[in-house]
Structure 1
Amino acid sequence: MGKMNVSNDALLALFAEMIWDNALRKYREENLYKEIDSALAKGDQTTFLALTSELRILQSLG
């Protein structure tokens, strides 16, 4: 019975980590969209390009 609890605990920990990673990725993605909009509004091409590059990388990982 103890071995089953260890397996369940490991699976729950893995699941929690997946949820946490997804939440962090979603949060960063939302912030990147806001920062990209701001860079566009300011006409800041350098920042826009850097942020869109980061967004593409983030989306390719998810």
Structure 2
Amino acid sequence: MDKMKITYEAMLGLFAEMVLDEAIQKYQSEQLNVAIDKALAAGDEDTFYSLTKQLNELQKD
């Protein structure tokens, strides 16, 4: 029974880590999208390309 409890706790820990990672990635994507919109509104082409590159890299993971 102890082996089963350890396995359950390990799985629960992995699941919690996955949920947290997904939440962080979603937050970062949202922040980058806001910054991209601001760069577009300001006509800042260099910042726009830099931020879109960052967003693309984040979405690959």
TM-score of the aligned structures, taking structure 1 as reference length: 0.94
Q: Cα RMSD (Å) of the superposition?
A: 0.6
Equivalent position of 2:44 in the other structure: 44
Number of residue pairs matched by the alignment: 61
Q: Can you give the 5+ residue segments of structure 2 that lack an aligned partner in the other structure?
A: none
- The C-alpha deviation readout for 1:3-61, integer Å capped at 9, x for no partner, is 11110000000000000000000010011110000001111111111100000111111
The letter for the 1-side match of 2:23 is: A
Equivalent position of 1:7 in the other structure: 7
Q: SS state of the match for residue 6, structure 2?
A: helix
Q: SS state of the match for residue 55, structure 2?
A: helix
**Hey, what's the Cα distance between the residues in 1 that align with 2:14 and 2:23?**
14
Does 1:22 pair with 2:5? no
Identical-residue share of aligned pairs (%): 49
Question: Which 4+ residue blocks in structure 1 deviate beyond 3 angstroms?
Answer: none
